[in-house]
Structure formats: C-alpha cells, structure tokens
Amino acid sequence: MPDLNDMTDEDLMARVQNADHGAFSVLVHRYTNLFYSAAYRMCGQQDDAEDIVQDAFLKLWNRPQIWDASRGAKFTTWFYRVVTNQAIDFMRKKKPAAVGDALDYVEDTRDTQQDMMEADEKSAMIETVIQALPERQKIALNLCFYEELTNKDAAQIMGVGVKALESLLMRAKSGLREELHRRGVLKQDDNGVGEATYYG
C-alpha cells in the first residue's frame, strides 16, 4: 500500500472523494499552516482565521465532489479560492473589527525593547491599513504579494482577468503608500506615489 505522505495533493484528493479519511488528514496536516496565514491576512483576527480554515477543510471533506480533477488545476490554487471565498463570506457576515491580534503579536527578532515596540506599532499599523483596503484590492495584494502566487493563478482564484488583477494590485500598493505616509510610517520624502488614492 502506498504511503499517503508521499502522494501528490491531487492523488490525495482523489482518495478523499472516495471517503478516505487518512488522505484528508494528510492534506490537513500539510496545508493548515499555509492557509491559516492566508486566512489571517484576509481577516486580521487569529480566531476568525482558524475558523475560516476549519470551515474550508470541512467543506472539502463533506463535499469532495466540488473538486474537479478534470480541470487540471493545482490543489493549492483551487483551495486558495475556497479559503478566499470562505473568508469573504465570513467578513461580510461580521462587522469590521479593529485589528487586535496584530497589536498583540510581533516576531521577536529585535534587539531592544524600544525596537520591539516600534516594530510592533509598525506591524499593527500596516495590518490596519491593509485591512482598510477595498476587499478586492486586499485579496489581490494578499495573493500576489504575501502568498507569492503568480498573477495568472491569483487572477484565476479571483475570477478576473490578469489585466484587472494587475490594476487592483497597483491601486492597492499606491493606496497603501499614501496611507502609510499619512500615518507617518513612511518618511516625508518616501511618498513615491503621492497622487495615489483609494478606489473601490
């Protein structure tokens, strides 16, 4: 019997479609962390991100037929779409919340307390500004910049053309530059795209 851990995602999905719980378990252990990060970047809350990932995986287990192997898509690309949609539904149901978790956590790579506090504030500020972006701009930024997907894959996940995605990405970044400059995270002479504004 082949070792499930050595199988490709697509082979595991074929097994999941035959109610193989072991195959499902391998996929969960392989990708929970990755998709948790993606979900967190969408919603900015640790608990919500965990719920989103859990719901997405349970959807996969309860309705495995939603995966269509004949389309030739990679499992991860397809599952990004599931998680993204789950996150959008979740956020629309929920009121926009303050960015709490980002304030509570910062990677401890700084030397002094002062540096850590500055890094903490900066990280929280970036999180707040990103969360305030229009939904589609935020998703485009997360998928391309943070998840490092290709524009083609990100466009496929979002169900838009590559040109439209590039436009969303450009507007997201220029909007971020302006807002971070306004909040003092970027220095006065750092405002490279001064004329940038937010667009829906």
Partner 1 sequence: MDDHEFNKILKARAVPPMRSNLEHRIVQASLPVGKNKANSKGNSLSAIFIAILDTLILPKPALSMALVLVFGVMLGGYSSGVSEASTNIDVDAYFLAAETIGYGDIL
Closest CA to 9 of 49, 69, 55: 69
SS3 96: coil
Distance in angstroms (rounded) separating the CA atoms of residues 170 and 144? 11
Distance in angstroms (rounded) separating the CA atoms of residues 65 and 13? 10
Residue matched to tokens 């903490």: 120
- 135 DSSP assignment: H
Q: How many residues make contact with partner 1 (CB under 8 A)?
A: 46
Of the candidate residues 5, 8, 33, 150, the single one contacting partner 1 (CB under 8 A) = 33
* Per-residue binder mask for partner 1 (CB under 8 A), 117-156, x = binder: --x--xx--xx--x--------------xx----------
Judged by CB under 8 A, the stretch of 36-44, 72-80, 132-140, 152-160 that binds partner 1 is: 36-44
Distance in angstroms (rounded) separating the CA atoms of residues 86 and 38? 11
* Residue 57 interacts with partner 1 (CB under 8 A): yes or no: yes
In the complex, which residues of this chain contact partner 1 (CB under 8 A)? 19, 21, 24-25, 28-29, 32-33, 36-37, 40-41, 46, 49-50, 53-54, 57-58, 61-62, 101-102, 104-107, 119, 122-123, 126-127, 130, 145-146, 173, 176-177, 180, 185-187, 189-192
